[in-house]
Structure 1
Amino acid sequence: MSKLLPEFPWDRLEPYKATASAHPDGIVDLSVGTPVDPVPQLVQQALTDAADSPGYPTVWGTPALRDALVGWSRRRLGATGLTHRHVLPLVGSKELVASLPTQLGLGPGDRVAYPRLAYPTYEVGARLAGADHVVYDDPWELDPDGLRLLWLNSPSNPTGRVLTADELRRTVAWAREHGVLLVSDECYLELGWEAEPVSVLHPDVCGGSYDGLVAVHSLSKRSNLAGYRAAFLVGDPAVLGELLEIRKHGGFMVPAPVQAATVAALGDTAHVTEQRARYAARREALRGALEANGFRIEHSEASLYLWATRDEPCWDTVGDLAKHGVLVAPGEFYGDAGARFVRVAFTATDERVRAAVQRLGG
């Protein structure tokens, strides 16, 4: 089965990581984009309080968790008319992205589409199912023949691009016209900087109907819960109901303490505001240092990354920065169109960001 997959991209970065790690002041790792700040105290407390959970959790989650998912989606996404049937917990969003085509029953002859510059796991999911995969610039220009799953990603990983409400509406209309399931990866939705991301489930986009639409959300970035593997789906109850039945058989269960922690995290906005402020300061510092070092920043109006280029092959940029002890991700990881870009995460600690700025001459 592994022969169906491309080389794991991060393995290719290891030699550059070794170079960066040899810097006298240590590595500044701006590549993967893993959270480094503390888990909010109220979330830690909720996890601890639920630690005595000897029984099996349910795949659909507790009623309290489903209430929290519905309530947050109403408040933050503007989604209306939601019930428990419109939500489904996930064991982190990556497992869903990698397994969704298989869980939907896709296979040879079916096609999965995703943006030309995109998170590599969209392709992985198609390959694992034995389905074909195709990239797009504008989704409504795709050939709908055999297309079963259309991925959107706004804000984008890696570019930070935000799709407008008009672009989302046009894509929703096109997908519905051609009977294509549209799944919108919105894991960075709460991290808009120069644009306000809109969910595909907002009534201005979907017309108040969730037919053929599913949105993916995660607490990894907004609440520093990457280590908890806490995420969820919101959308078409017919699609989510089918996935629920399949996932029951597969045992895709979010641990009970993590369910309790998710309820606490979704019920609080103070820690989100505090974390946004941290990221905003780091983003400003790194952007200034990169631009002073000859980089051009494109898109990057949202998410946790700066999409940067010096108009040279991305591996040359990676190698040069590694000599300064700074590790970034080559744009090639996200598609051939990224071959002259690097993705720079601003998830390092304040101290490490200051080190990077100093090394870049900022």
Structure 2
Amino acid sequence: MSSTTGPGTAVSGSRGPHLPDFPWDSLARQTDTAKSHPDGIVNLSVGTPVDPVPANLQRALSAAADQPGYPATHGTPELREAAVAALHRRYGITGLAPEAVLPTIGTKELVAWLPTLLGIRPGDVVAIPELAYPTYEVGARIAGAEVVRLAPGELPPAGTALLWLNSPSNPTGQVLDARQLADSVRRAREIGAVVASDECYLALGWDTEPVSVLHPSVCSDFRGVLAAHSLSKSSNLAGYRAGFITGDPDLVGRLLELRKHAGMIVPRPVQEAVTAALRDDEHVRAQRELYAARRALLRPALEAAGFRIDHSQAGLYLWATRGDDAWQTVDWLAQRGILVAPGTFYGPAGDRHVRIALTATDERIAAAAKRLAE
């Protein structure tokens, strides 16, 4: 178990928390190097979708364009019912009530503000994975909490108020099985912590089938457990800022009341697009096949170039190493016109790995594979 700097110290001239620099700003030099390649950059450093928004989702958005009134913070009943039905069809989740679904403005804002909305304060502990999406730490710092990073299989210490789970993992693609998830939920309940499971990549299992923390094999009731879902990856709706949180109805109710006061409302046209996306599984399958094909091309090309791929059983990334310092590997790839993210963006334990995204067009993925073979 490792600890990150605890309650945020004041920034000079302000009373706000001291936040780390935005990680991707530090890739400016490598970006310029990659852009100088004669065939242009292959940007695999971020998980930004590049494929078109499905036509039926675009139609749902535009059909609701004439909405002069304020939308409901809780979302339409149709959206919430569609979410419950989709989670049952796609992931076998049972027992959810539509009232326990709350749409969010994407999931990044949810991750960043969840500790504050849950009432976490200075002196509280937020436990996050050893290698984790940076916004888990940022959200804890905004609330002034102490951050503890947990090694794989490690359970949160006493005093933890919020435990973040992320399976499939960003950045590693590691998948926690039902027993591991259940152990985390059980421990969190013992110490009075809320479990928040980031399940943005749940639809993208490759070597194994991911399971939700809300699945009956993990917990028989949703007390103290929340799951966050994004439509950015599965439905290419990153530009729409479309997500939702569900689970414990009491916790969701508390979040709803706070979000009403704070004006955290998903626009009504986006709510209609979300509803359409949740009702349609075919576009999710089609997008999954695109990512599977890109993965099948890029992974062996990396391995042939001397990389080892660790974990990466699911999700949108390949967690790769050549045994070198992460930044040396970033430079090596940038010289070949390929931009990736150093593993250190996700925690000190990533200092020998890079995260390589599958979110590029077929043509750019093929270009990267060709360069790796040269």
Same fold (TM over 0.5): yes
Aligned to 1:37: 51
Q: RMSD over aligned Cα, in angstroms? A: 1.1
Aligned to 1:48: 62
For 1:142-173, what per-residue CA distance to the aligned partner results, in whole angstroms no more than 9, with x for missing partners? 321x2100000000000000001111111111
CA contact under 8 A between 2:17 and 2:142: conserved in structure 1? no
Gaps of 5+ in 1: none
Displacement of 1:141 after TM fit?
3.4
The verdict on how the C-alpha distance between 1:44 and 1:12 changes in structure 2, with shifts beyond 3 A counting, is same
Gaps of 5+ in 2: 1-14
Aligned to 1:315: 327
Aligned to 2:359: 347
Please tell me the residue identity of whatever aligns with 1:115. P
Displacement of 1:7 after TM fit?
1.1
Aligned to 2:148: 134
CA contact under 8 A between 1:47 and 1:261: conserved in structure 2? yes
For 1:89-119, what per-residue CA distance to the aligned partner results, in whole angstroms no more than 9, with x for missing partners? 0000000000111111111110100000000
Aligned to 1:260: 272
TM-score (norm 2): 0.94
TM-score (norm 1): 0.97
For 1:322-346, what per-residue CA distance to the aligned partner results, in whole angstroms no more than 9, with x for missing partners? 1111000000000000001000001
Q: d(CA) in 2 for partners of 1:142 and 1:103?
A: 21
Q: d(CA) in 1 for partners of 2:154 and 2:260?
A: 34
Aligned to 1:19: 33
Query: Alignment partner for residue 181 of structure 2, among 145, 160, 168?
Result: 168
The verdict on how the C-alpha distance between 1:288 and 1:139 changes in structure 2, with shifts beyond 3 A counting, is closer
CA contact under 8 A between 1:77 and 1:201: conserved in structure 2? no
CA contact under 8 A between 1:140 and 1:170: conserved in structure 2? no
CA contact under 8 A between 1:152 and 1:183: conserved in structure 2? yes
Q: d(CA) in 1 for partners of 2:86 and 2:179?
A: 24
User: Is 1:326 aligned with 2:338?
Assistant: yes
User: Is 1:28 aligned with 2:8?
Assistant: no
Please tell me the residue identity of whatever aligns with 2:148. V
Please tell me the residue identity of whatever aligns with 1:212. G
Aligned to 2:369: 357
SS class of match (2:320): strand
Q: d(CA) in 1 for partners of 2:154 and 2:246?
A: 23
Please tell me the residue identity of whatever aligns with 2:80. R
Please tell me the residue identity of whatever aligns with 1:229. R
Q: d(CA) in 2 for partners of 1:359 and 1:139?
A: 37
For 1:278-310, what per-residue CA distance to the aligned partner results, in whole angstroms no more than 9, with x for missing partners? 101100111011000000000000000000000
User: Is 1:248 aligned with 2:260?
Assistant: yes
Q: d(CA) in 2 for partners of 1:172 and 1:138?
A: 15
Please tell me the residue identity of whatever aligns with 1:64. E
CA contact under 8 A between 2:156 and 2:187: conserved in structure 1? no
Displacement of 1:54 after TM fit?
1.1
SS class of match (2:217): helix
The verdict on how the C-alpha distance between 1:318 and 1:140 changes in structure 2, with shifts beyond 3 A counting, is closer
Please tell me the residue identity of whatever aligns with 1:136. L
Q: d(CA) in 2 for partners of 1:17 and 1:40?
A: 30
Q: d(CA) in 2 for partners of 1:154 and 1:112?
A: 17
Aligned to 1:211: 223
